[in-house]
Amino acid sequence: MRNMMDRERIESVFSVLSSGSTMSAADGLRGLVTDETAARMITEVGIPDQVGGHVLLSDFSDGPVTVKEDIGPLKESDQIVENFVSLGTTGTDGEGLLLLDGRTGEVLVWEQERLSRVTPRLDVFVYFLTLIQEQINTAEDEMWDTDGEEVREAFEAIWAGFQSIDEPTVRESGEYWRRMMEDSFHSMGFHDG
């Protein structure tokens, strides 16, 4: 995984969207991220700002913050997630909270008062997002038909990429990743027919 995710790749893929990605200085981690792989992603590689128009990720320039620090007091049913690192939101209205367990590096999502693991490590999460954004970039650069065969083929290529990177995660969180892939493309006007 280390060779697949580096700062140059993140910048080249995500620079078409806003500022591309953000990183934190190592001393900015404030003890919130102790998992070595997650810390390296945040301090050396970078976290993308967004994927399509569906996923908005937190700005790590000033270091990570907890969910409670990011969005303030939570209703009682949401307090279970208040001490996770705020990774971003997903969905057209930001209804899903993306979370990082800074001790383990796991990425989770809090949707409809349910906590689910998305990936076992932050680098896998960022790599999956990169595969999605690379295909969206290609679709826009090549001006694909928004309902064309190319979109279906892109979905198949992304899915094959997911499986080649982390088959157990795809088995465990496959429904989430299918929805993420489709919603990310749909947010940019592309549909799979």
Rounded to an integer, what distance in angstroms lies between the CA atom of residue 154 and that of residue 1?
A: 22
pLDDT in tens, 66-120: 999 998 887 887 788 989 999 999 876 667 899 999 999 999 999 888 999 999 9
Rounded to an integer, what distance in angstroms lies between the CA atom of residue 87 and that of residue 84?
A: 9
Instruction: Report the predicted TM-score, pTM, of the whole model to 2 decimal places.
Output: 0.91
> What are the CA-CA distances from residue 157 to residues 20, 87, 172 (Å)?
23, 26, 19
Rounded to an integer, what distance in angstroms lies between the CA atom of residue 168 and that of residue 165?
A: 9
Q: Cα 94 vs. chain centroid, distance in angstroms? A: 13
pLDDT in tens, 26-65: 999 999 999 999 999 999 999 999 988 889 999 999 999 9
